[in-house]
Amino acid sequence: MESAALLDSYMVDESKCGAHKPWVEEVCNQIDCPVWFTTKWSGCSVSCGEGVQTRVVECRNTRDQPSNLCDAATKPETTQVCSTGMNCPFRLETSEELLPGLYQTQSLEHSYPAPPMPEKLVGEQEVPSESTFIPEEWGPCSVTCGEGVRRREVFCKIFLEFSRTIAKLPDKQCSGIKPFEFEKCYREPCTEERIGVDIKDDPTNIKVGIGSPAKSYSWKELGFTPCSASCLGGVQELIVHCVRDDNQKVTSPYMCPIELKPEAIVRACNEHSCPPRWSHGEFTECSHSCGLGIQTREVTCIHELTQGGSNTVVVPNSRCPPPSPPDRQYCNVLDCPIRWRVYQWSKCSKSCGGGEKTRQVECKQIMAQNHTVDRPATMCPSPKPLDKKPCNTKSCVIESDKPQISIANSTFIQHDPKKNRVTVKVGGAATLFTGTTVKVKCPVKRFDRSKIQWQKDNAFLPQNKKFKSSKKGALRVQNLSMRDTGLYTCVAGKSSASIMISVRSKPGEFPTSEEIQRQSKMDIVAGIKPPKAEGIGNFYPDDQSHEQRPDGTKNHYK
């Protein structure tokens, strides 16, 4: 009973227990969880319409090894629907077999009219690519002897480039004069056994039989032939046949007396103006050799004023019958060869000391319908274009806080007043005319010249229209005046060099008294010998006086 009581346990306060309390939690599985890795999407499976793209999805751990511990619920998709952005061209459904590899396309600007049904394949008959009247073979002569008539079919036809077929069109779609469908024909002279023939009703299957010599025959006018032109004036010819008097059936012209045959009559017809019609030129060359090209042509609505099309005027499109012929069409809808595509070079990674330029080089293929797909580098031709190249290989110049400035200890004096631009170097002095633009160079070594500063009379110059400092450290002073006389100093780090610039008037120009006094002070500062006592004008050899007589002569003061 006592041992049973010892086995019973009770919860008590933790302070009652001695020693360190055991851990209730511990860290486990301290490695990173594996994640899903995906490759790039493949190219679209079709060249037009909607297709499918695929990619590889793998679960890999931190060691880049396959793993099966990824959460299947978060696995990315391996396929997706893709669209090329181009509608697939429709194929022409006909009872004739079309040439392989060609199909009809639609206009990019507006819907094409429904294509006419093809008649037969190319090769059986030459037909131009614009609507034209094409005559068939002549039928048999209407008589077996003497003079008769034969007939043929004439159709308006056009050659369809894409479907490579010939299609029939209504006659109004063809321009120009329609060829004759009837013409006279002559057989061997009729013999006595053949005189008195009857012509059956079917003109394409006419036979000549033996008639009765007691029947009479006469010439009869049967109207005029169709007009040779639908507008702008054509001609019609009077139709005269020899007929039997009893039944008015056409018979051989040898049965009627030739001396009684009516004279041939030709008259004008359809002299009204032609309605406006569409006119178009040839298609241009294809804009691309592969992928998806476009051909264009000019389509205008014209009004023909005279026969033959030599005198036409362009009128608004609304005056021509709709629809208008297409002004553009697809061409070279083919997959392009696989090629390298290179992009622009990047900027150099370093300004000096050997940098590197890079660019993107990818293996691509432009498919039909003009969309691009990625291809493996092994499919592109060798060699692969460079994607890296060196640049700025010159060593960097180490700047010095006290660089060396090359000084020209010489005096420059401007003699030609017409010379508007003068270049000098720091060191020495320069005497220049007013109105001149001077460029002062500060040749310095082992120093960034863009950091050069300029002073005039120990005061830093601002950057404005008057004073400009270039990236190479040169100072440019525009349109010098007397006020610009002074000491110009270039400051490069702890080094500096100066030049004394004196400005004087051009010959024939006279400075004011204030300008002369200011010039004298500047000359003294610059160490230039002061003018003689006879007159200050001796320093300015062309300045003999400020005054001038009315007659143009100058005053001389003694």
Give yes or no for residue 330 having a pLDDT over 50.
yes
pLDDT of residue 499: 93
> 357 forms bridges with which residues in the sheet?
389
Asked if residue 415 has pLDDT above 50, the reply is yes
Q: What would the mean pLDDT of 342-367 be, rounded to a whole number?
A: 92
Q: pLDDT higher for 49 or 548?
A: 49
Both tokens of residue 279? 């006119």
Assess contact for 424 and 480: CB atoms under 8 A: no
The alpha carbon torsion through 8, 10, 15, 17 (nearest 10 deg) reads 20
Cα–Cα distance measured from residue 339 to residue 290, given in angstroms and rounded to the nearest whole number: 13
Cα–Cα distance between 109 and 113 in angstroms, integer? 12
Name the 3-class secondary structure at 190.
coil
Exposure string for 371-405, b = 16+ CB within 10 A, e = fewer: bebebeeeebeeeeeeeeeebbeeeeeeeeeebeb
Report the pLDDT value the prediction gives residue 129, as an integer from 0 to 100. 62
- With tokens 């600007």, the residue in question is 109
**How far is residue 327 from each of residues 169, 223, 276, 516, 529, measured CA to CA in Å?**
19, 44, 18, 80, 87
Return d(Cα 17, Cα 9) in angstroms, integer.
13
Fold annotation for 276-334: TSP-1 type 1 repeat (2.20.100)
What class, spelled out in words, does domain 404-508 have in CATH?
Answer: mainly beta
Q: In whole angstroms, how far apart are CA 531 and each of 417, 523, 535?
A: 22, 10, 7
Residue 530: is its pLDDT beyond 70?
no
pLDDT at 233: 80
List helix spans (H) across 261-360.
none
> How many other CB atoms are there within 10 angstroms of residue 91's CB atom?
11
Q: What span, in angstroms and rounded, lies between the C-alpha atoms of 194 and 543?
A: 132
Q: Is the pLDDT of residue 31 over 80?
A: no
pLDDT surpasses 50 at 342: yes
Which residues are 372's β-sheet partners?
Answer: 366
Per the prediction, the chain carries an average pLDDT of 77
pLDDT bracket for residue 198 (50, 70, 90): very low
Please identify which residue in the block is written with the tokens 């023909």.
Answer: 304
What is the C-alpha separation between 115 and 108, in angstroms, rounded?
16
pLDDT score at 325: 92
The DSSP 8-state label assigned to residue 66 in this structure reads B
For position 454, what pLDDT does the model report? 92
pLDDT at 291: 87
| Residue 161 pLDDT class (50, 70, 90 cuts) | low
pLDDT band at 449 (very low <50, low <70, confident <90, very high): confident
H-run or E-run covering 339? strand 339-342
Q: How confident is the model at residue 326 (pLDDT cuts 50, 70, 90)?
A: very high
* Cross-strand partners of 498: 489
Percentage above 70 pLDDT, the chain: 74
Instruction: Read off the DSSP letter of residue 522.
Output: H
List the domain boundaries for the chain: 35-82, 132-187, 217-269, 276-334, 339-391, 404-508
Of 159-163, 312-316, 435-439, 542-546, which range is least confident?
542-546
Per-residue pLDDT of 259-299, as tens digits, reads 888 888 888 888 888 889 898 999 999 998 898 899 999 99
